[in-house]
Amino acid sequence: MHKSKIWGYVVDARDIIHIGQELEVIILGVKPDGNLELSLRLPEEDPLLQYEIDDKVKGVVLNVQEHGALIEIEPDVRGLVHKSKMWGYVAHVEDVVQHGEEVTVRILSIDLEKRRLELSMQVPEHDQLQYYQAGDIVEGTVTEVVDFGAFIEVEPGVSGLVYKADMPCHVTDVRRVLSKGGKVEALIIRIDWGKRHLSLSMKDL
């Protein structure tokens, strides 16, 4: 029996199976030489069965990808957090999580057939926005400049908008004042918790 046919990550099958031990197995097939292909992966013992949708669990980042991060909850239990399920707008996943980091996630769906979890990092108690309040002065990076203002990212998952009316002096062309990638200081006027959005001002500093 190959160690891949045992639940969990197995380095040495001898750590689990011993000579003379009685086992319950599934017959997967018969090989050309007459030997049986067996598996210890009994469906009722699948570790995925102990989890339910909306469970909050801790896991370790196994792999950071362009569209999300692969999280291992325990051996043989893994899932993907798409970057749209991380707090705020995420341009680069590596700015939010790194390989080997422990994270808290919420289970959105469980696919027993594909043995795959859909996960979310949008757990309220880990929302970075909770550490800010109206009246705070913050430093951020301009992520987009538009006719009516500029979008500012304070940190991954925390961003807001400063309208040109809230910029110093009288601004007719925002692009002459701010440019993408520039660093600015701004005052938080208010926080929209529903939209997870900061209203910012640069003229009241």
Whether 47 maps to a domain, the answer reads no
DSSP 16-72: T--TT-----EEEEE-TTSPEEEE---GGG-GGGG--TT-EEEEEEEEE-SSEEEEE
pLDDT band at 23 (very low <50, low <70, confident <90, very high): very low
Whether 99 maps to a domain, the answer reads yes
Phi-psi region of 23 (alpha: psi -120 to 50; beta: other; left: phi over 0): beta
Region of poorest pLDDT, from 23-32, 61-70, 105-114, 117-126: 23-32
What total number of domains does the chain contain?
Answer: 3
**CATH number of the domain that 81 lies in?**
2.40.50.140
Whether 166 maps to a domain, the answer reads yes
My answer on whether 157 and 113 are in the same domain is: no
My answer on whether 64 and 114 are in the same domain is: yes
pTM above 0.75, yes or no: no
In 3D space, the residue among 182, 183, 186 whose CA is nearest the CA of residue 167 turns out to be 186
What average pLDDT does the segment 96-106 reach? Answer: 92
My answer on whether 32 and 67 are in the same domain is: no
Burial class (CB in 10 A: 0-12, 13-18, 19+), 105: buried
Q: What is the pLDDT of residues 128-141, one digit of tens each?
A: 888 999 999 999 99
Q: What is the pLDDT of residues 46-73, one digit of tens each?
A: 677 788 999 999 999 999 999 999 999 9
* pLDDT of residue 81 exceeding 50: yes
My answer on whether 137 and 121 are in the same domain is: no
- Name the 3-class secondary structure at 143: strand
My answer on whether 112 and 134 are in the same domain is: no
Whether 89 maps to a domain, the answer reads yes
My answer on whether 119 and 69 are in the same domain is: yes
Burial class (CB in 10 A: 0-12, 13-18, 19+), 115: middle
7 Cβ contact partners less than 8 Å away, ≥ 6 residues apart: 40, 41, 45, 46, 47, 75, 76
What average pLDDT does the segment 83-91 reach? Answer: 81
- Name the 3-class secondary structure at 74: strand
My answer on whether 158 and 144 are in the same domain is: yes
My answer on whether 121 and 136 are in the same domain is: no
My answer on whether 112 and 147 are in the same domain is: no
Range of 71's domain?
52-126
Q: Of residues 26 and 59, which shows the higher confidence score?
A: 59
My answer on whether 99 and 134 are in the same domain is: no
- pLDDT score recorded for residue 22: 55
* pLDDT of residue 15 exceeding 60: no
Whether 63 maps to a domain, the answer reads yes
- The pairing of strands 102-111 and 77-82 is unpaired
- The pairing of strands 77-82 and 116-120 is parallel
Burial class (CB in 10 A: 0-12, 13-18, 19+), 154: buried
My answer on whether 67 and 13 are in the same domain is: no
Q: What is the pLDDT of residues 148-204, one digit of tens each?
A: 999 999 987 789 999 999 998 888 899 988 999 999 999 999 999 888 889 999 987
